[in-house]
Amino acid sequence: MSAYQKEYQLAQTAPEEFWKQQANKIAWFKFPQTILSQDEQGIDRWFADGELNTAYLALDHHVEQGRGDQTALIYDSPVTGQKARYTYRVLRDQVAKTAGMLASLGVSKGDRVVIYMPMIPEAAMAMLACARLGAIHSVVFGGFAPNELAVRIEDAEPKVIMTASCGVEINKVLPYKPLVDKAIMDSRWKPDHVVVHQRKQCLADLNQERDKDWSALLRTATPHDCVPVLATDPLYILYTSGTTGKPKGVVRDNGGHAVAMNYSMSTIYDVEPGDVYWAASDVGWVVGHSYIVYAPLIYGCTTIMYEGKPVRTPDPGAFWRVCQEYGVKALFSAPTAFRAIKKEDPEGEHLKQYPMPSLKTIFMAGERLDPPTLEWVQSKTGRPVVDHWWQTETGWAIAGNPIGLENFAIKPGSATKPIPGYLVEVLNEVGEPQKASEQGYIAIKRPLPPGCLPTVWRNHDRFESGYLSQFPGYYVSGDGGYIDEDGYLFVMGRIDDVINVAGHRLSTGEMEEVVGGHEAVAECAVIGIHDDLKGQLPLGLVVLKDGYVSEDGVIENELLQKVRQEIGAVACFKRALIVDRLPKTRSGKILRRVIRQIADGEQYVVPSTIDDPSSLQEIERVLE
């Protein structure tokens, strides 16, 4: 039996034994006696009576073990021209003081802190400082508009918001403080304090009693110790798009998360403590939580916070420059980033300047890895490319090529094999397993392994109804696909209203709510259509109320602006078309799938349930 088969089988047949072995690899304050149990809501919980502190694992423990002088975090910011390095000791001390600063503002175990920050070291310090106190952080991606921030503030009810005076994108400085002020104004929940890290690119006005200057507070802060928490206490809430307008607060616990993060670094990424590991993502996304901050630090690697893009900062050699400069061993980003590089440097001329001797493997996730991108990256870099499939909900990969255990031959288009701990099955409409290569709902048999969400923040019903109730005994991923004769998993895309734009997860349902909120709109459909660079882009089809006419595209433009203002630029909602009617079934359901097929130029079958077949001709006409 191969190492992979052994681990997979043990995790399947004796999960408690398997995960106890893995739990033994991290430094608990109190090792759990109970490995797997169920909580009062019948949800599987890992290590329920174990006690630990995630910031201790990520920092203090390494200093105690002699890793204090190793670089823990590298900051590289081509958009500001800044670079910095923090050793484990320095980072621990900074985090301890940041925790002290939060404690002085009244934050303690179980309190929530919203973090709305760009890709600067203080964002990681803020997250780790919360973890140190046992407080629960909720990071909100900087590309989201005030309305999105307000929704999250209202749901998480934070005592404090931590932010920076601005974000810096290519050739533009984006002031954050006015966005935070607006979000708080629009939210029914008001935090006690807003702590602002002032950046020299743009200083924020701290004009209210509640506003605090980060560095002034930090100067006088007393370092705070790590507060022991239960394994099942939440470490963070991360909001993600679902099928409705309201994002879901995915809850991550401390114990299962730490064990899973540690396990994934050797099994999936095949790195050693001391290696340089770089996830080119953003702390606002789950990839940033797991693989910029927590996993590399828990495992003793050097992590990189890169404030830049794959292209135009300053050129498409940016990723390769970072890999060369810091000796990156494992690089992880979304396929869209590599498509952007390929578009601007198809022959890989920039790549030739950087031999990158340390770079061993390139990992991709966030959206389906299309075979042409896989082929291009492999041939140009000469490095193996590993596609792996995961979600905000799971926090780490469900399927991938577990090269730390066994290096499977890859099949383009497949995320390879399920990772030990995940029992992946493909089910039909009524929950029966599909035969090999038959498409269906990708589901994971319960119990989910450590690290996966135990609930949705303050909305357990949503967890049950959104993930568990469709097929009893399973977690439904929301993705469709199949497993072939060799056990390879092919993830073909979402079966709900979630789309992936440049590796960013967005809800078309939410965009429809925003578009539908315009006074001229009678009804609308937003669908995700194929885009060569970003994977998918949203497209809106809109029916106007009687009496409204859009002259020179005025209404269309207003709709684009509305989505930009209410969701954010990151939604990339750049196309809205006005139609007389939307194609629907006789029962009134909009035929989104058919619209998408028409937009993508695919063959489609006119559904027998269609109400008015001529409505499809109109869609064909406007999309021509």
Residues that bind ligand COA (CB under 6 A): 142-143, 167, 169, 174, 281-282, 285, 287, 309-311, 333-334, 336-337, 340, 365-366, 502-504, 569-570, 572
- State which residue, 98 or 401, has the beta carbon closest to ligand AMP: 401
Q: Which two tokens stand for residue 389?
A: 């499939």
Nearest-approach distance from CB 423 to ligand AMP, in angstroms? 17
- DSSP structure class, residue 469: S
252 binds ligand AMP (CB under 6 A): no
- State which residue, 309 or 350, has the beta carbon closest to ligand COA: 309
Nearest-approach distance from CB 531 to ligand COA, in angstroms? 10
- State which residue, 23 or 515, has the beta carbon closest to ligand COA: 515
Residue pair 94/215 in contact (Cβ under 8 Å)? The answer is no
Size of the site for ligand AMP (CB under 6 A): 20
479 binds ligand AMP (CB under 6 A): yes
Q: Is 370 helix (H, G, I), strand (E, B) or coil?
A: coil
Segment near ligand AMP (CB under 6 A), from 36-44, 289-297, 351-359, 360-368? 360-368
Nearest-approach distance from CB 479 to ligand AMP, in angstroms? 5
Query: Which residue has tokens 């997860």?
Result: 505
Query: Which residue has tokens 């797997």?
Result: 36
Segment near ligand AMP (CB under 6 A), from 125-133, 174-182, 204-212, 365-373? 365-373
CA 317 to chain centre: 25
Q: Is 301 helix (H, G, I), strand (E, B) or coil?
A: coil
User: CA–CA separation, 73 vs 176, rounded Å?
Assistant: 24
Nearest-approach distance from CB 349 to ligand AMP, in angstroms? 28
- DSSP structure class, residue 419: P
Query: Which residue has tokens 């684009």?
Result: 560
- State which residue, 120 or 598, has the beta carbon closest to ligand COA: 120
Which of 139, 365, 578, 594 touches ligand AMP (CB under 6 A)? Answer: 365
- State which residue, 89 or 182, has the beta carbon closest to ligand COA: 182
Q: Which H or E element spans position 5?
A: helix 3-13
Q: Which two tokens stand for residue 66?
A: 């002699």
Residue 398 binds which of ligand AMP, ligand COA, none (CB < 5-8 A, kind-dependent):
none
Q: What is the β-pairing status of strands 417-418 and 399-400?
A: antiparallel
Q: DSSP for 509-555?
A: HHHHHHHHTSTTEEEEEEEEEEETTTEEEEEEEEEEPTT---GGGHH
Nearest-approach distance from CB 264 to ligand COA, in angstroms? 15
Q: Long-range contact list for 176-180, CB < 8 A, 24+ apart? A: 176/116, 176/117, 176/118, 176/142, 176/204, 177/204, 177/205, 179/116, 179/145, 179/146, 179/149, 180/116, 180/146, 180/149
- State which residue, 300 or 568, has the beta carbon closest to ligand COA: 568
- State which residue, 320 or 332, has the beta carbon closest to ligand AMP: 332
Nearest-approach distance from CB 399 to ligand AMP, in angstroms? 8
Which of 367, 370, 497, 512 touches ligand AMP (CB under 6 A)? Answer: 367
590 forms beta bridges with 584
Nearest-approach distance from CB 172 to ligand COA, in angstroms? 7
Nearest-approach distance from CB 402 to ligand AMP, in angstroms? 14
Counting Cα atoms < 13 Å in the Cβ hemisphere of 182 gives: 13
Residue 387 binds which of ligand COA, ligand AMP, none (CB < 5-8 A, kind-dependent):
ligand AMP
392 binds ligand AMP (CB under 6 A): yes
391 binds ligand AMP (CB under 6 A): yes
> Helices marked H in 105-176 — which ranges?
121-133, 146-156
Nearest-approach distance from CB 365 to ligand AMP, in angstroms? 4
Residues that bind ligand AMP (CB under 6 A): 240, 286, 365-369, 387-392, 415, 478-479, 491, 494, 500, 505
